[in-house]
Amino acid sequence: MKKSLLILPLTVFFQASCVAKPIEANTVIALTMGDRACYVKFKDNNGGTHEAMANFEICEQENVLHKKVIFSYSETRVMAAECQGDPECTKSDTVKLISSIRMVDE
């Protein structure tokens, strides 16, 4: 019996692996100002509750509470967790922060 080898072009694999995930809307349930960042508590579409760090300005956007939103993220330097809120501490961590929130039309 002769065995055959199936060769797929690299472009087929590349295209399949680069398909963008659909952007999911989340519901903001709390905004809390912290020492390192604003903390956004939200529910996903499956009912799971999560918390993410955000730019401090996000905590001022109380109009997003209990609304469906889409987050945009950016990598930003924040005070290191080991600083425990000490303003004299100069250490930092690079983290993925929510940089903006856009409300979704329902």
| pLDDT (0 to 100) of residue 11 | 41
Query: In this predicted structure, what is the pLDDT of residue 15?
Result: 43
pLDDT digits (tens, 9 = 90+) for 50-103: 999 999 999 999 999 999 999 999 999 999 999 998 989 999 999 999 999 999
pLDDT interval class at 106 (50, 70, 90): low
Residues 22-34 pLDDT 10s = 567 899 999 999 9
Cα 103 to Cα 94: distance, rounded to the nearest angstrom:
27
The ranges assigned to domains in the chain are 25-103
- pTM of this structure: 0.74
Main-chain dihedrals φ then ψ at residue 47, nearest 5 degrees: 90, 0
